Structure 1
Amino acid sequence: MGARIRALRKERGYSQESLGEKGGFHFSYIGQIERGEKNVSLVNLAKIAESLDVNLIQLFAYVEEEFEVTENDVQIYEVVQLLRNSSSEDIRVAKNVIKGLLM
């Protein structure tokens, strides 16, 4: 995980300090994660991913693996985010609308 974070950070031209600032972490914490000296929680991984402008799926992709998020992936993610903040009734209605569109 640390190697992946380092690779993404360097691709974006961020220093450990600038990535730490974006995510609300001390730069030494970022360095410890990159070197595998610290275990990192999923909450902090999500903050790091957001700071790197990637989603968690991309963060977990192998460094050597070419991983591309399609436009459909982005759209699905956005729909899920909208539904997370919706009532149970709104989610049920949205599900029925989607079923109707796809059948």
Structure 2
Amino acid sequence: MAEILNLVGSKIRDYRKAKGLSQDQLAELCGFHFSYIGGVERGERNISLENLAKIAETLKVEPKVFFDFNHSFVQPPSDKKEAALQEVLTLLQAKELRHIQMTKKLLMEIFKTFPRQ
């Protein structure tokens, strides 16, 4: 059980830092005691679903992101181009190497048809 607490806590820490918030600031925004967030992030606290939802809402993410252990944390995109690139990367990460290489070849052929910039 401790493993999932550490994994979820680590995800919360990543998203908190990406938003530029301290543990104290996040705790205050969520209505928690200042030491609570630190305990959650270190995997020392068994966070309730209600509190997880408060943290997710404050960080403006879906609660499910805290349970995506198959992918490393990726900084939330700051603009539309970065968001589109992140979507493509996410799609490719789930594919086999040969499919990624095939996709690369297809993209190279498609890009040849675009006007030069």
Instruction: Specify the alignment match of 2:72 in structure 1.
Output: 64
Aligned-pair Cα RMSD in Å: 2.2
Question: Unmatched 5+ residue regions in structure 1?
Answer: 71-103
What is the TM-score of this pair, normalised by structure 1?
0.60
Larger Rg: 2
**Pair 1:6 & 2:4 matched:** no
Q: 2:56·2:62 contact (CA, 8 Å) conserved in 1?
A: yes
What is the TM-score of this pair, normalised by structure 2?
0.53
Shift of 1:17: 0.7
Q: Distance in 1 between matches of 2:66 and 2:43?
A: 15
Question: Unmatched 5+ residue regions in structure 2?
Answer: 1-7, 77-82, 84-117
**Pair 1:20 & 2:27 matched:** yes
In percent, how many aligned pairs have the same letter? 51
Shift of 1:26: 1.2
**1:49–1:12 CA distance, 2 compared to 1 (3 A):** same
Amino acid at match of 2:51: N
Q: Distance in 2 between matches of 1:21 and 1:36?
A: 20
Which runs of structure 2 are paired with 1:31-50 in the superposition (5 Å)? 31-50=38-57
Instruction: Specify the alignment match of 1:30 in structure 2.
Output: 37
Which secondary structure state, in structure 2, belongs to the residue aligned with residue 64 of structure 1? coil
